[in-house]
A = this chain, B = another copy of it.
Amino acid sequence: MGRSIHVRRPATLASLAAELGVSRTTVSNAYNRPDQLSPELRERVLQTAERLGYPGPDPVARSLRTRKAGAAGLLLTENLSYAFSDPGAVNFLEGLALGCEDAGVGLHLVPASPLREDVAAVHRAGVDGFVVYSVPDDDPHLAAVLSRPVPAVVCDQPKLDDVDRVGIDDEVATTKLAEHVLGLGHRHIGVLCMRLGRERNDGFVRIDRQNSAHYHVQQRRLTALAKAFSAAGVDWSKVPVVERFEHSSAQGESAAAQLLDAYPDVTALVCTSDILAVGALQEAKRRGLRVPIDLTVTGFDGIADADRVELTTVRQPLKEKGRAAAELLLSSADRTGPKLITLDTELVIGATSGPPRTAEQPWFGP
């Protein structure tokens, strides 16, 4: 019982109607509105379809007419495969997929490489809307998405006119974290952060680059750190910040190494992502630095690996974020204005933060 032979000219609704001697409408109704024709005729239509190898209405033609693609687009700034290699992104996508599934729509991952600025893929995607995840604000793909006449939801992005948004309050979360570290007594702190712009810049980051960062999340976190540090009397302009273009623990390692080489007196590394922090922990281990006795390390995100190494971090509900994004996009209740959703975060104090070795500890002192 093999599959039917691949016919040269595939059957269409029209050819089926001709074969049956009924109108195209009737055939269409057989598939979409069974109540519009008699059960007998419907059965006859379906059987003839089977016989002719007609696979049912063509999805693209249907989409054109109904103006519904049945899919949500996802725009990532990274290589598509990044979606599956970064645990944070995976969590987000899991939530997004959940939301799409509930609505019965597909999830269309748009191949938008950051390198070749080929915006065409955005224009080619047959989707009912876009979710934009962690894209720099000057990315041409983002502009392309906004130019499309479909709704969009952006995540971790500054507020955009007419566009829904879901995110967390990075400033509040980062401040909590900073105050924890400062509260432990740290004053010589280093910062590891993810890429700030589309051009690669692995190394130390000066203030101007921090302020002009196009990756909104990173920028907010740095700004919050600057504010909290300054409030505690730490001169932010003297705080070393190391940037890494690629987001991997290996890069976290090398960033930590670079920072510790140049600033050996640092007692704490604040990382703007768990991945970087995990790398920093590796590097600390390699150097024989005990954590948290010799070095405090903190992360951000709350991925599974962070739990495993008992990282002090901020946990954000990545899965819920994805789900919220999907719901926002797909609940096409024509709202009057754009909607903003801000999710809660939680400071998780793990085993990687403690008072600095050199800190004055008044409760132990004379």
In A159-197, the 8 Å CB interface with B consists of: 161-162
In A89-122, the 8 Å CB interface with B consists of: 90-91, 93-95, 97-98, 100-101, 104-111, 113, 118, 121
Query: What's the minimum C-beta distance from A300 to chain B, rounded to whole angstroms?
Result: 20
Query: Is A287 located at the chain interface by the 8 A CB criterion?
Result: no
CB-based contact A101/B80 at 8 Å? yes
Q: How many copies does the complex hold?
A: 2
Identify the A interface with B (CB < 8 A). Answer: 2-3, 6, 10, 55-64, 69-71, 73, 79-81, 83-85, 90-91, 93-95, 97-98, 100-101, 104-111, 113, 118, 121, 123-126, 146-149, 161-162
Given A60-B69, A70-B121, 4 other A-B contacts at CB below 8 A?
A70-B124, A71-B108, A101-B113, A107-B111
CB-based contact A109/B109 at 8 Å? yes
CB-based contact B111/A108 at 8 Å? no
- The complex places the Cα of A106 from the Cα of B80 at a distance, in Å, of 9
CB-based contact B55/A123 at 8 Å? yes
Residue of A10, A62, A94 with most chain B CB atoms under a 10 A cut-off? A94
Q: Can you give 6 A-B contacts (C-beta < 8 A)?
A: A6-B162, A59-B126, A63-B63, A84-B93, A97-B109, A107-B109
Nearest residue, chain B, Cβ from A79 = B101
- The complex places the Cα of A142 from the Cα of B121 at a distance, in Å, of 28
CB-based contact B108/A80 at 8 Å? no
- The complex places the Cα of A148 from the Cα of B4 at a distance, in Å, of 11
- With a CB–CB cut-off of 8 A, which chain B residues contact A97? 79-81, 83-84, 109
CB-based contact A90/B84 at 8 Å? yes
Nearest residue, chain B, Cβ from A57 = B123
- The complex places the Cα of A64 from the Cα of B109 at a distance, in Å, of 20
Query: What's the minimum C-beta distance from A348 to chain B, rounded to whole angstroms?
Result: 21
